[in-house]
Chain A
Amino acid sequence: MTTKKKRSAHTSNDSWVVIAADSALDKTKLDDGDPTFIRLRNPATGAASQYLFSRGDARLYEVKAFVEDFHSWFIDQTVQRDGRLLYVTPMDPLFLLLPYLQSGAVEGKFQPLQQIVMDEDYPGCTRLLKCTQALDTLQHVADEKVVGSQKFHRYSQEKTMDWLKKKVLNTVSALKKSNISVGGGVKSTTYVRVKQETDVTEEDYLRYAHGLISEYISEDLSKDLHKHLQLPEISSPKEVEPPSKKRKLSDKPVEAGEDYTKFNSADFARKPPKKMTAAQKTLAKVDKTGMKSMSSFFSPKVKQEMK
């Protein structure tokens, strides 16, 4: 390359490439307004994330973007510089309501939903209360009291744990059905396995599913759920001590095997690193993620794992 190319910051687009569920764009009811994108508080991170309400706020969808470097779109006669692909997938609105219910639980009182689900930063969150699915399933995570015509709710940790556990188990069966590799080892999704993974345990599935569900709940809840599932903590790998070398004993005085003084002489100047050949350069560029170093196969620690 003769000149350095500068990469300007991504500018916002007026068009997106989206894959959405048909139900998200349902056109049966015409009077309730169009499906709308909305920023809501992400229950896992607490920061803003994009979601979509279907017509009339009946259903909630999350928006995930496929983002990889060096991608662009050709769309008919135009070029779109960001190669993003947006996925609009159905989402359980309870996940978004949970943080509000939890913070309301501090007082330990039954409260009407309208008082619980309020957010200065994300006023759109009240629209969650129109989701039929949210209202129908609230009893999974909260106790309910009806006084007159009004309903009152109170967050319940036990109920929530049971509900989340069910989510994890559902996820496990979905993972098994869709043949997703949950074990360690090679991490590339494009890698096609010839052999079925045989050494994957039920615990691997549980752990993976717990991780997935944790993407939708707060860190504290994730820890609680971990306990609830009775998953053993992963012990961090012990520090590897260098193998104790057996020394050869001999009575003779120790002498240097090689003469290193030659390196001190003046003519042993440091040579500049050799230029790599084209073949070596291409080799050096190979994606090495997931590869083990050759020496790792010979260390005693690996042997233990193999047993």
Chain B
Amino acid sequence: MDLRDFEADNSVSCRLSSPVPDLCRTEDCCLGIDEAGRGPVLGPMVYGICFCPVSRKENLKNLKVADSKTLSEAERENLFLKLDKAKGFVGWALQILSPNTISTSMLQRAKYNLNALSHDAAIGLVQYALDCGVQLKEVFVDTVGPAEKYEEKLSQRFPGVKVTVRPKADSLFPIVSAASICAKVARDHAVKDWKFTEDLGRVDTDYGSGYPNDPKTKSWLLKYLDPVFGYPQFVRFSWSTAQTLLDSKAVPVHWDDDEDREKAAARQNNTSVLSYFSRSKPAGNTPKRETHRFFTERRLQSIDTL
């Protein structure tokens, strides 16, 4: 698998795809969607679609594609090569969501959560297939969140296509298994040859599975924690594992949308209602000359010490 397009800039989202088989433009097709790397704190999340003519489903079964989780890495590589060779009737496309994309989406001011991110990646890939002229009739998806809601969302988005959302779809439908293999292979490659944009010298690549509960991953996270910057872009900052470590080990950084601070400030600016009923006015209420608005509007103040 050629990941050079992604490696050129692994801070953003990237789409990779096979050429679309001519058969898929003329015959009714089915399409499977699956993802790889949803849970890890390290590396990208990859969304994959695979499509083939409905009439060729049997051929796909003969390739013995199965749920990528039940296969060894070597078997997956093998199967992907087979899929890639079957370009006469099988097409695939991938959306690689870089860890940086995931971090910045989930941590931005208007929160964009992982489910929404996943749904949009899936929708984008289906739309891509339609735009390429694939005659889509059936779509099979492994669920993200409640299955009925997701199915309704996709059906509304793509009228005229029969959408089936099922948990464990990757073991039920060969076309979803195929998609899961493409996604998993891409994720493995991306993680294995991760090009660190940060200047870290020789990076210790022994980060284990990348899942938060892996002790190797945890000790790697501790090792590469910079007190000011936190982690390299390889790490999903929005994961609670990463955040907990940052909160305890790194320098505190305050943003103006930090919830707890906002409340504290609101409390500070308010005078308690009770104070208006007491005999003496609160000490802080003595009239003080207000700074002219020219300065307050520009946030300028006199200072007494440097």
Residues in chain A within 8 A of chain B (CB atoms): 1-7, 12-13, 16, 37, 39, 42, 44-45, 47-50, 62-70, 79, 86-87, 180, 187-189, 208, 211-212, 214-215, 219, 278, 282, 285
B254-288 residues with Cβ-Cβ distance < 8 A to A are 254-262
Are the CB atoms of B292 and A79 closer together than 8 Å?
Answer: no
CA distance A305 to B262 in the complex (A): 36
Nearest B residue to A5 via CB reads B252
Nearest B residue to A188 via CB reads B297
> Which residues from B are CB-within-8-Å of A5?
247, 252-254, 258, 260-261
Q: Does B202 contact A (CB under 8 A)?
A: no
CB distance from B33 to the nearest CB of A (A): 26
CB distance from A202 to the nearest CB of B (A): 18
A-B contacts, 25 of them at CB < 8 A, read A1-B258, A1-B259, A2-B247, A4-B260, A5-B247, A6-B252, A7-B252, A12-B305, A16-B306, A37-B306, A48-B304, A50-B305, A64-B301, A65-B301, A65-B303, A67-B299, A69-B254, A79-B228, A87-B300, A187-B293, A187-B297, A211-B293, A212-B294, A219-B289, A282-B109
Give the 5 A-B residue pairs with the shortest CB-CB distance, closest first.
Answer: A48-B304, A211-B292, A49-B302, A5-B252, A70-B256
> Which residues from B are CB-within-8-Å of A62?
302
B142-178 residues with Cβ-Cβ distance < 8 A to A are none
CB distance from B74 to the nearest CB of A (A): 39
Interface size on B, residues (CB 8 A): 36
CB distance from A43 to the nearest CB of B (A): 11
Are the CB atoms of B297 and A47 closer together than 8 Å?
Answer: no
Are the CB atoms of B289 and A66 closer together than 8 Å?
Answer: no
Q: Does B85 contact A (CB under 8 A)?
A: no
> Which residues from B are CB-within-8-Å of A63?
302-303, 306
Are the CB atoms of A67 and B247 closer together than 8 Å?
Answer: no
CA distance A285 to B263 in the complex (A): 11
Known A-B contacts A211-B294, A282-B110; the reply to A66 vs B247 at CB < 8 A is no
CB distance from B257 to the nearest CB of A (A): 7
Nearest B residue to A69 via CB reads B256
Q: Does B18 contact A (CB under 8 A)?
A: no
Residues in chain B within 8 A of chain A (CB atoms): 109-111, 228, 240, 243-244, 247-248, 252-262, 289, 291-295, 297-306
CA distance A278 to B303 in the complex (A): 40
Are the CB atoms of A70 and B303 closer together than 8 Å?
Answer: no
> Which residues from A are CB-within-8-Å of B302?
42, 45, 49-50, 62-65
Are the CB atoms of A1 and B111 closer together than 8 Å?
Answer: no
CB distance from A89 to the nearest CB of B (A): 10
> Which residues from B are CB-within-8-Å of A68?
299
Are the CB atoms of A285 and B257 closer together than 8 Å?
Answer: yes
Are the CB atoms of B243 and A278 closer together than 8 Å?
Answer: no
Specify which of A13, A45, A187, A278 is in contact with B111 (CB 8 Å cutoff): A278
Are the CB atoms of A2 and B254 closer together than 8 Å?
Answer: no
Most-contacted residue by chain B among A5, A39, A219, A278 (CB, 10 A): A5
> Which residues from A are CB-within-8-Å of B291?
215
CA distance A5 to B246 in the complex (A): 11
Given A12-B305, A208-B294, 19 additional A-B pairs, CB 8 A: A1-B258, A2-B240, A5-B252, A5-B253, A5-B260, A50-B304, A50-B305, A50-B306, A62-B302, A63-B306, A64-B300, A64-B303, A69-B254, A86-B306, A187-B293, A187-B297, A189-B298, A214-B292, A282-B109
Are the CB atoms of B300 and A49 closer together than 8 Å?
Answer: no
CA distance A48 to B305 in the complex (A): 8
CB distance from B306 to the nearest CB of A (A): 6
> Which residues from A are CB-within-8-Å of B301?
64-65, 67
CB distance from B300 to the nearest CB of A (A): 5
Known A-B contacts A4-B260, A5-B254; the reply to A49 vs B304 at CB < 8 A is yes
Are the CB atoms of A7 and B261 closer together than 8 Å?
Answer: yes
Are the CB atoms of A215 and B228 closer together than 8 Å?
Answer: no
Nearest A residue to B304 via CB reads A48
> Which residues from B are CB-within-8-Å of A212?
292, 294
> Which residues from A are CB-within-8-Å of B111?
278
CB distance from A283 to the nearest CB of B (A): 11
CA distance A214 to B302 in the complex (A): 14
Are the CB atoms of B254 and A50 closer together than 8 Å?
Answer: no
CB distance from A149 to the nearest CB of B (A): 38
Are the CB atoms of A66 and B305 closer together than 8 Å?
Answer: no
